[in-house]
């Protein structure tokens, strides 16, 4: 029982940590490219802002699902029921 709970806590920490890391790297690249593109063609900035919003939604989709699954394991861990 303790082993299952302990391993779940470690996996939840890895899931949330990697989700945050992936999102941070993705956003850093996205923000850098946006600044670059706006410096080259400032008139495209409003259009790029919307495109950036779309890409941001796609970028964090997988990491948000990771956060959801991590919290599912935190609050309703199915493996604890299996052990009991």
Partner 1 sequence: MASSKPLRASELLAMRKRAVFRFIGLQVALAAGLSVGILVAMSGLHAYSFFAGALASILPNLYMAWRVFGHAGTQTAKDVVRSFYRGESGKLVLTAILVSAVFIFIKPLASGAMLAGFGMAIMSHWLSPLLLNK
List the catalytic residues.
Answer: 60
- Look at residues 4, 11, 25 and name the one whose alpha carbon lies nearest to residue 78: 4
Helix-helix angle 61-75:45-59, to 10 degrees: 30
Assess 82 for contact with partner 1 (CB under 8 A).
no
Sorted by sequence, the CB contacts under 8 Å of residue 43 that are 6+ apart come out as none
Query: Judged by CB under 8 A, which of 1, 10, 50, 84 binds partner 1?
Result: 50
> How many of the other CB atoms lie within 10 Å of CB of 53?
9
Assess 71 for contact with partner 1 (CB under 8 A).
yes
Query: Judged by CB under 8 A, which of 18, 42, 79, 80 binds partner 1?
Result: 42
List contacts with partner 1 (CB under 8 A).
Answer: 16, 19-20, 23, 27, 30-31, 34-35, 38-39, 42-43, 45-47, 49-50, 52-54, 56-58, 60-61, 63-65, 67-69, 71-72, 74-76
């Amino acid at each position: 029982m303790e082993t299952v709970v302990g391993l779940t806590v470690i996996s939840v920490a890895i899931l949330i940590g990697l989700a945050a890391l992936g999102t941070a790297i993705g956003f850093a690249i996205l923000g850098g490219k946006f600044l670059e593109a706006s410096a080259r063609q400032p008139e495209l900035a409003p259009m790029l802002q919307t495109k950036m919003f779309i890409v941001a939604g796609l970028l964090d989709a997988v990491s948000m699902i990771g956060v959801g699954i991590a919290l599912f394991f935190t609050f309703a861990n199915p493996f604890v029921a299996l052990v009991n």
